[in-house]
Amino acid sequence: MNWWAALLVFVAMVLSDIAYARYTIDAVARRAHWASMWAAAIIAMSGVVVMGYTQDKRLLFFAVAGAYVGTFLAVRRKP
């Protein structure tokens, strides 16, 4: 397994989940520009993740772990 790819998938998923939390906050607050920017970031980072684990199915584990960590960090952070 390529450990650099595993790290990239993990970090991209952490950032994607943080972006998803920010997207939700901005969409609920009706801040269209910022919600749209976060949506674009989600697609870009999720694309990196999907390309990673379609090349090596073992990287799915790192995507799942990154999703957990990203959501945990986003929710624990006080606004």
* pLDDT tens string 14-40: 999 999 999 999 999 999 999 999 999
Alpha carbon 28 to chain centroid, angstroms: 19
Entry pTM: 0.88
The one-letter code for the residue type at 34 is W
Nearest CA-CA partner of 15 in 76, 71, 78, 75: 71
Q: Whose CA is closest to 76, among 28, 37, 26, 21?
A: 21
When pLDDT is averaged across residues 5-19 and rounded to a whole number, the result is: 95
- The number of domains in the chain is 1
Query: Rounded to an integer, what distance in angstroms lies between the CA atom of residue 47 and that of residue 18?
Result: 15
- Residue 35 domain boundaries: 3-76
Report angle CA 62, 1, 65 to the nearest 5 degrees: 5
